[in-house]
């Protein structure tokens, strides 16, 4: 197996995962230092993407346990995200047992490596179940934590080597219950790669395999993929969504936009494509997670989240086609503001909770 490529970001917060295979190839090429070093194909492994709210458990060598979400590094029972910390606080002995199981497995796979005790074991997962999200099979289940990735000794481990480690008696499960998916990434043919893996994502969207493992049928979201030789680098992870979660991909323009009017028109077209329903809902949920009031007081934070999310996820397209970022941000404001105000009319929320 090739040596892992380290991620450029050193943080315990869970990484944001791109939708774009081309962006993954671009990043890999940059990390390898030479595009001619790209192999003809790269084996990839996928797990079911769950539609819940992200949550992590950090366990330190002194048995200190810290809970966090995607956007908050310290969840408390008094400052929670969908009740995750409240539920997990009473399960310390189970969490410590899981940590021991992961470390035992890690030592089997790394007999000659020394464990850095300053690094926490990061048990990353998804908090799913009733009233957390809507319109997916997982909503029919009681609330539970699903382990989706684990970081040991400062590196993300290969999911398939740690499958099955869970604690069902405490409603903590492993994503491997939904199965493991295998395919190949073709760096010189990202479209061909998509054609091979998109049917798998659509199958998950039609009927979630993870939910089905509990006897529940209904819609799922998609698949998260990792390059097996570089599984420890989240910069190279990507996701394939299906059904109503499938993002809007914009075809490349025939020629770059020229002049202010053309650039503004191009920015407006992209903003309309990228400000789709699922992303808008994510921004809405972000406010709740950060305990920002979903009223006019929170509209600025919502718009800023939308702008940052789009500029980050669509970075490759924006740079490649010379999209005017300031114009794009302006057009995002128009759509995001209008959508936000409509939510206030419909719901008139004053509380933080979703």
From edge to edge, which strands make up the β-sheet containing 222-227?
A: 181-185, 42-49, 222-227, 238-241
Per-residue pLDDT, 348: 53
Please indicate, yes or no, if residue 254 is contained in any of the structural domains: no
Point out the domain boundary residue: 244, 269, 302: 244
Q: Are residues 297 and 206 in the same domain?
A: no
Q: Are residues 266 and 148 in the same domain?
A: no
Q: Are residues 197 and 303 in the same domain?
A: no
Q: Decide: 292 and 349 in contact? Cβ < 8 Å.
A: no
Residue 7 pLDDT exceeds 60: no
Q: What is the DSSP string of 54-117?
A: EEEEEE-TT--EEEEESS-S-BBTTB-STTHHHHHGGGHHHHHHHHHHHHHHHHHH-TTPPP-T
**Burial category of 259 from C-beta neighbours within 10 Å (exposed 0-12, middle 13-18, buried 19 and up):** exposed
pLDDT in tens, 58-77: 999 999 999 999 988 899 99
- Averaged pLDDT, 261-287: 93
Residue 66: how many other CB atoms lie within 10 Å: 17
pLDDT in tens, 15-38: 989 999 999 999 999 999 887 789
Task: Determine the structural domain holding residue 122 and report its residue range.
Answer: 21-244
pLDDT in tens, 97-112: 999 999 999 999 999 9
Q: Are residues 39 and 170 in the same domain?
A: yes
pLDDT in tens, 299-348: 999 999 999 999 988 988 898 889 999 999 999 999 999 999 999 988 65
Q: Are residues 226 and 273 in the same domain?
A: no
Please indicate, yes or no, if residue 250 is contained in any of the structural domains: no
Per-residue pLDDT, 4: 45
Q: What is the DSSP string of 14-60?
A: PPP-BS-HHHHHHHHHHHHS-GGG--S-EEEEEEEEP-SEEEEEEE-
Per-residue pLDDT, 117: 92
Per-residue pLDDT, 10: 56
| Residue 144 token pair | 């539970």
**pLDDT top residue among 201 and 291:** 201
Per-residue pLDDT, 352: 41
- Averaged pLDDT, 79-105: 97
Between 79-83, 118-122, 245-249, the lowest mean confidence (pLDDT) is in 245-249
Residue 250 pLDDT exceeds 80: no
Chain mean pLDDT for the chain: 92
Q: Are residues 33 and 125 in the same domain?
A: yes
Per-residue pLDDT, 132: 93
Domain count, the chain: 2
pLDDT in tens, 122-173: 999 999 999 999 889 999 999 999 999 999 999 999 999 999 999 999 999 9
Per-residue pLDDT, 347: 67
Q: Are residues 228 and 321 in the same domain?
A: no
Q: Are residues 127 and 273 in the same domain?
A: no
Between 79-88, 160-169, 257-266, the lowest mean confidence (pLDDT) is in 257-266
The CATH number given to whatever domain includes residue 160 is: 3.30.470.30
Q: Are residues 237 and 285 in the same domain?
A: no
Q: Which pTM does this prediction carry?
A: 0.85
Q: Express as a percent the part of the chain with pLDDT over 70.
A: 95
Residue 241 pLDDT exceeds 70: yes
Please indicate, yes or no, if residue 8 is contained in any of the structural domains: no
């Amino acid at each position: 197996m090739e040596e892992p490529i380290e991620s450029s970001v050193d943080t315990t917060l869970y990484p944001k995962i791109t939708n774009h295979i081309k962006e993954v190839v671009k990043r890999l090429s940059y990390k390898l230092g030479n595009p001619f070093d790209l192999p003809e194909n790269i084996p990839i492994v996928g797990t079911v993407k769950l539609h819940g709210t992200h949550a992590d458990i950090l366990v330190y060598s002194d048995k200190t346990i810290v809970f966090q979400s995607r956007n908050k590094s310290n969840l408390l029972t008094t400052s929670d995200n969908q009740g995750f910390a409240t539920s997990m606080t009473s399960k310390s002995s189970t969490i410590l047992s899981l940590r021991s199981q992961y470390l035992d497995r890690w030592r089997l796979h790394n007999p000659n490596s020394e464990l850095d005790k300053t690094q926490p074991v990061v048990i990353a997962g998804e908090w799913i179940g009733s009233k957390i999200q809507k319109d997916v099979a997982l909503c029919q289940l009681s609330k539970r934590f699903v382990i989706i990735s684990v970081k040991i000794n400062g590196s993300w481990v290969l999911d398939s080597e740690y499958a099955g480690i869970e604690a069902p008696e405490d409603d903590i499960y492993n994503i491997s219950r939904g199965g493991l998916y295998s395919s190949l990434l073709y760096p010189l043919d990202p479209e061909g790669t998509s054609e091979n893996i998109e049917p798998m994502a659509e199958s998950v969207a039609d009927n979630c395999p993870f939910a089905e493992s509990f006897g529940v049928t209904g819609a799922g979201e998609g698949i998260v993929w990792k390059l097996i030789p570089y599984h420890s680098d989240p910069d190279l992870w990507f996701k394939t969504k299906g059904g109503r979660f499938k993002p809007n991909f914009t075809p490349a323009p025939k020629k770059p936009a020229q002049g202010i009017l053309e650039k503004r028109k191009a920015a407006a077209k992209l903003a309309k494509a990228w400000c789709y329903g699922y992303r808008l809902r994510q921004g809405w949920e972000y406010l709740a997670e950060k305990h920002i009031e979903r009223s006019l007081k929170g509209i600025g934070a919502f718009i800023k989240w939308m702008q940052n999310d789009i500029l980050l996820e669509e970075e490759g397209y924006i740079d490649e086609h010379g999209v005017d970022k300031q114009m794009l941000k302006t057009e995002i404001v128009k759509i995001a503001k209008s959508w936000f105000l409509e939510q206030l009319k419909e719901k008139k929320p004053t509380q933080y909770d979703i």
